[in-house]
Structure 1
């Protein structure tokens, strides 16, 4: 679990909020369970998923998504990254974190 917003992986993710960061890395950041579900429904695996289990467990839909993430082939190891709520808040581009 990553607990520090200053973690190097988190710093790289924050860079993706800028045009320069996206151009430099060739990557982009998608936020929220709805976008993640859309990707998974289309059989597209994101390069990495950063998630906060307690936030997802607040709703039945979030719990189902968490179960799906944990059992999706190809989304294991360092591609599925648990983070603290503080890290989610530091990464967030939306007003209220969605998990």
Structure 2
């Protein structure tokens, strides 16, 4: 939550490159540190966590990686990139809301 607030405050000061970097680093930290730590801790406690993804989750992950790769390649961001991310977020939200699994 702290990284999100920092990214928003920095973006408000019109430093979008730093805001983008903060957001990407926060996502990387969750993917590379928090999730494996929780899986190891759950096996120590005795309630192992299954690491299985459904097809909609895999599609959302691949789509988000593709969009972030496309946006971060030129090193600049504009309102159209933000709109693209918001629309994709909306599509993912609707997909998971109506997903029966």
Place the TM-score, normalised by the shorter chain, in its bin. Answer: under 0.3
Whose radius of gyration is greater, 1 or 2? 2
TM-score by length of 1: 0.24
Tell me which of the two structures has the higher relative contact order, counting C-alpha pairs closer than 8 angstroms and 6 or more residues apart.
1
TM-score by length of 2: 0.24
Bigger fraction of residues in strand: 1
Bigger fraction of residues in helix: 2
